[in-house]
């Protein structure tokens, strides 16, 4: 199979049009004062990292974009990080914009569509082999970086155009399914958190009853809410609700474990990087986990005390037979009965709670600010009745459970994609065999 492929380079697949392979503007040609509220979006580092250019954009005026037209990227182009997080590669989508301005930290490639499929090239560039090439050929002077000369000479194996498109379709279908699941999971979580906010932060049902309005809930649930407020140390709260400290709602578990003592055991490792990488715990042998960790039992909620301005709350998916550990930067929390963990999770994710934790920060280094566990556990908050907490759990737990199922499916699909990708883009695996895997995974 691999013998049917052609060895080429990035320069050889670039379109013959002018500025098909360019870097960003020079220095003073694009500065922050050029940014406006709307116009032509600028691709910066924060817009990279995914399959498609996305996120919050800065913009420049039409006139500024026209003056830098050599640095414009259009749908189907491939954008590379030149300095910063080397190896980042992103495609320019068809919508919502018809052109983008590449910043000084990126390079742009427009491929010759008679030779190469840009989506296939994207998958080649994110493959382990190509990522190794980028690291090995980076310029290490000062901040590691690359340049157009290195990119032009980067080798690229290509099958026929029809096979490129077939490979891109297989991998793209898996990525589409992963993205769809991710969005559904976010929607389910938003619904649970919106319900928590309505009931326990904004007190919407209580306000409705106090004003003689229908709270819009089933009568058995509506009857659980009081119809008036009373003063408390936290201000006005629903009548009959308590003000308690956080440690009346949760117990912090402090069981430690050194995975190195069980080198051949497989652990589910819940780390800060794993959280940031899409809530995907890593399966690792004990011998690879180099420091003491906290044990994570089924039913726990993890709350990071590191850099609280970045909210990291993890409703972990741990089975009875799993051996799970987490970074000691997480507090391992178990709800105090009869409180359920959906309540605890939504509480920890609520903006009011996050603001309270941020006020507890110690340390001057921006990257290593922490809130002390005892201070977190001492935070004061309202506690509704047991019956109302149970009603919330009955409403929210199914939503969060479905999100768990979606994340498991994402892990399975991502594992399949990561297995297929290097084999497909190198010719080791033929399209027909990969299609069978795809049919089984997306059935």
Rounded CA separation 72/35 (Å): 16
98 assigned to some structural domain: yes
Is residue 293 a contact partner of residue 257, using CB atoms and an 8 Å limit? yes
Rounded CA separation 268/351 (Å): 29
- Domain residue limits at 352: 242-383
118 assigned to some structural domain: yes
Residues 154 and 6 grouped into a single domain? yes
30 assigned to some structural domain: yes
Block residue for tokens 């970074």? 327
Residues 150 and 30 grouped into a single domain? yes
Q: How far is CA 235 from CA 224, 238, 247, 276, in A?
A: 21, 10, 20, 36
Q: Is 198 helix (H, G, I), strand (E, B) or coil?
A: helix
Residues 150 and 268 grouped into a single domain? no
pLDDT of residue 362: 74
Please report, in tens digits, the pLDDT of each residue of the chain (443 residues total).
445 899 999 999 999 999 999 999 988 899 989 999 999 999 999 999 889 999 999 999 999 999 999 999 999 999 999 988 889 999 999 999 999 999 999 999 999 999 999 999 999 999 999 999 999 999 988 788 999 999 999 999 999 999 999 999 999 999 999 999 999 999 999 999 999 999 999 999 999 999 999 999 999 999 999 999 999 999 999 999 999 999 999 999 999 999 999 999 999 999 999 998 888 899 999 999 989 999 999 999 999 998 888 889 999 999 889 999 999 999 999 999 999 999 999 999 999 999 999 888 876 555 578 889 999 999 999 999 999 999 999 999 999 999 999 988 998 999 999 999 999 999 999 898 888 877 877 66
Q: Is 384 helix (H, G, I), strand (E, B) or coil?
A: coil
Peptide bond into 96 cis (omega under 30): yes
* CATH number reported for the structural domain that contains residue 372 in this entry: 3.90.220.20
Residues 122 and 252 grouped into a single domain? no
Is residue 89 a contact partner of residue 125, using CB atoms and an 8 Å limit? yes
Block residue for tokens 């399959």? 51
Q: How far is CA 3 from CA 13, 403, 421, 427, 428, in A?
A: 19, 44, 18, 8, 10
Torsion angles phi and psi, residue 143, rounded to 5: -75, 125
Render the burial of 95-116: b for 16+ CB within 10 Å, e for the rest.
eebeebbbbbbbbbbbbeeeeb
Q: How far is CA 331 from CA 293, 328, 335, in A?
A: 11, 7, 12
pLDDT of residue 364: 58
259 assigned to some structural domain: yes
Is residue 91 a contact partner of residue 52, using CB atoms and an 8 Å limit? yes
Rounded CA separation 389/185 (Å): 23
pLDDT of residue 363: 63
The three-state (H, E, C) secondary structure of 264-332, written as one string: CCEEEEECHHHHHCCCCCEEEEHHHCCCCEEECCCCCEEEECECCCCCCEEECCCCCCCCEEECCCEEE
Rounded to the nearest angstrom, the gap between the alpha carbon of residue 371 and the centroid of all alpha carbons in its chain is 23
Rounded CA separation 410/278 (Å): 10
Peptide bond into 259 cis (omega under 30): no
Domain boundary among 383, 415, 434: 383
Domain boundary among 362, 383, 404: 383
183 assigned to some structural domain: no
Is residue 370 a contact partner of residue 361, using CB atoms and an 8 Å limit? yes
Closest C-alpha among 183, 188, 240 to residue 209 = 240
Strands 100-102 and 40-43: parallel
Helices then strands, counting H and E runs in the chain, come out as 14, 25
Domain boundary among 364, 383, 402: 383
- Overall number of domains in the chain: 2
Q: Is 139 helix (H, G, I), strand (E, B) or coil?
A: strand
Rounded to the nearest angstrom, the gap between the alpha carbon of residue 238 and the centroid of all alpha carbons in its chain is 36
212 assigned to some structural domain: no
97 assigned to some structural domain: yes
437 assigned to some structural domain: no
Residues 154 and 257 grouped into a single domain? no
User: CA end-to-end span of the chain, whole Å?
Assistant: 27
pLDDT of residue 2: 47
Question: For residue 285, what are its two tokens?
Answer: 């042998």
């Amino acid at each position: 199979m691999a013998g049917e492929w052609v060895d080429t380079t990035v320069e050889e697949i670039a379109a013959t049009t002018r500025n098909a392979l360019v870097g960003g503007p020079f220095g003073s040609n694009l500065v922050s004062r050029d940014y406006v509220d709307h116009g032509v979006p600028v691709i910066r580092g924060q817009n990279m990292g995914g399959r498609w250019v996305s996120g919050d954009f800065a913009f420049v005026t039409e006139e500024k974009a026209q003056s830098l037209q050599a640095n414009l990227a259009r749908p189907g182009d491939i954008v590379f990080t030149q300095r910063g997080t080397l190896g980042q590669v992103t495609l320019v989508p068809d919508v919502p914009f018809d052109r983008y301005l590449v910043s000084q930290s990126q390079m742009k490639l427009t491929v010759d569509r008679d030779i190469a499929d840009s989506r296939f090239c994207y998958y080649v560039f994110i493959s382990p082999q190509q990522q190794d090439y980028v690291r090995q050929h980076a310029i290490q002077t000062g901040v590691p970086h690359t340049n157009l000369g290195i990119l032009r000479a980067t080798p690229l194996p290509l099958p026929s155009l029809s096979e490129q498109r077939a490979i891109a379709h297989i991998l793209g279908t898996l990525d589409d399914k992963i993205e769809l699941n991710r969005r559904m999971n976010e929607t389910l979580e938003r619904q649970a958190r919106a319900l928590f906010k309505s009931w326990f932060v904004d007190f919407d049902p209580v306000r409705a009853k106090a004003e003689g309005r229908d709270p819009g809930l089933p009568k058995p649930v509506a009857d659980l809410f009081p119809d008036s407020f009373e003063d408390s140390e936290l201000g006005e709260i629903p009548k009959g609700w308590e003000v308690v400290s956080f440690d009346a709602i949760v117990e912090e578990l402090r069981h430690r474990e050194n995975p190195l003592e069980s080198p051949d055991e497989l652990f589910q490792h819940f780390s800060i990087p794993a959280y940031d990488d899409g809530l995907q715990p890593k399966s690792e042998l004990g011998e690879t986990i180099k420091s003491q960790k906290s044990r994570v039992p089924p039913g726990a909620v993890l709350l990071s005390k590191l850099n609280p301005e970045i909210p990291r709350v993890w409703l972990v998916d741990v089975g009875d037979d799993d051996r799970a550990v987490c970074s000691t930067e997480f507090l391992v929390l178990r709800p105090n009965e009869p409180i359920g963990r959906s309540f605890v999770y939504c509480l920890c994710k609520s903006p009011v709670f996050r603001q309270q934790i941020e006020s507890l920060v110690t340390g001057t280094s921006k990257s290593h600010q922490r809130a002390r566990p005892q201070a977190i556990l001492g935070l004061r908050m309202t506690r509704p009745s047991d019956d109302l907490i149970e009603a919330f759990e009955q409403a929210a737990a199914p939503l969060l459970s479905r999100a768990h199922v979606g994340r498991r499916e994402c892990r399975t699909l991502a594992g399949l994609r990561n297995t297929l990708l290097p084999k497909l883009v190198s010719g080791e695996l033929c399209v027909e065999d990969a299609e069978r895997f795809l049919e089984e995974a997306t059935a």
